[in-house]
Amino acid sequence: MARRPAFFISDRTGLTSESMGEALLEQFRDVQFKRATYPFVDTPEKARAMVQIIEKTAQQTALRPLVFSSIVDEEIRSIIKSSPGLHLSFFDAFLGQLEDELGIQARHTAGGRHGIGDTERYDARMEAVNFSLNHDDGISDKDLQKADVILIGVSRSGKTPTCLYLALQYGIRAANYPLTPDDLDNPGLPPMLRNHLNKLYGLTIQPDRLAEIRQERRPDSHYASLATCKREVAEAQAMFRRFNIPFTNTTQKSVEELAVSIMQACKLKRRF
């Protein structure tokens, strides 16, 4: 059966129309969709080219396309809406209501916010990215002092991508402390972490999934064996409980969800 076409169209990056569209499509798991994202549709010419693409797709599939759009300019928006499709237009749905409520007209032009020229935002972001890159392996006490949060967990429990996401998305300086087998054998907290108990956040993971991830990295090693993974995870969780360190299981969570959970649990505020 032909898949239902779903277009995500935007005058900017398309990230908003994509995340909005995906959240909606996710509500219909039995339907197969054929997705296509078109960013930077910011002139009437590009909009008319877009209409032709939508028309062609509608003819080929004989299914009415779903068109998720986030376009500020009214002329461009109305061109897009002349195409055959169910139009779910983000600004149509909300902008008028907001204008009425605020009692002023919206700008109706796509903005150039948050460029690298937006130096405050860029600097916070870069500082955080550099922080997490510099301390991915081997970390000093000075680094830990500067950190907003310190993620701890066994090797391959998801610390690195979460640190990077916290840096890129929120400008948070997230340090990454891997719990080694030595750390885990010891009943105390690793010495370096003792002065930073209030910044610690633990990541744990299902042992079978951990074994799978480690297997990719070092096939058939002691490190990747299910027994090792089970023991390390149990010891790490015991440590988290012993020292009242908040922690979460990463197995069923996306990096986005982990980052937001950590922001919330550690009461962190975005730096831009």
Annotated binding residues for ADP, written as ranges, equal 153-160
**Interface positions, 85-144, toward a second copy (CB under 8 A):** 86, 88, 90-91, 93-95, 97-98, 101-102, 104, 106-108, 111-119, 121, 123, 125-126, 129-130, 133, 136
Q: Which residue has the tokens 């055959």?
A: 84
> Residue 128 CB, nearest distance to a second copy (Å)?
10
- In this structure, are strands 33-38 and 149-154 parallel, antiparallel, or unpaired? unpaired
> Residue 90 CB, nearest distance to a second copy (Å)?
7
127, 153 contact by CB (below 8 A): no
**Interface positions, 135-194, toward a second copy (CB under 8 A):** 136, 158, 160-161, 164-165, 168
> Residue 194 CB, nearest distance to a second copy (Å)?
28
DSSP annotation string for 104-136: S----S---TT-TTSHHHHHHHHHHHHHHHHTS
The answer to whether residue 226 forms part of the interface with a second copy (CB under 8 A) is: no
Determine which residue in the list 1, 23, 142, 244 makes contact with a second copy, applying CB under 8 A: 23
Residue nearer to a second copy on the CB measure, 55 or 92: 92
Count residues near a second copy (CB under 8 A). 78
Of 197, 209, 198, 131, nearest to 163 by C-alpha is 131
The answer to whether residue 257 forms part of the interface with a second copy (CB under 8 A) is: yes
- What is the identity of the amino acid at 166? L
Q: Give me 198's structure tokens.
A: 């209030």
Q: Give me 187's structure tokens.
A: 């009943």
Range list of β-strands (E), 120-199: 149-154, 174-179
Residue nearer to a second copy on the CB measure, 81 or 190: 81
The DSSP output letter for 13 is -
Residue nearer to a second copy on the CB measure, 48 or 253: 253
Q: Which residues contact 48 (CB under 8 A, 6 or more apart)?
A: 79
The answer to whether residue 64 forms part of the interface with a second copy (CB under 8 A) is: yes
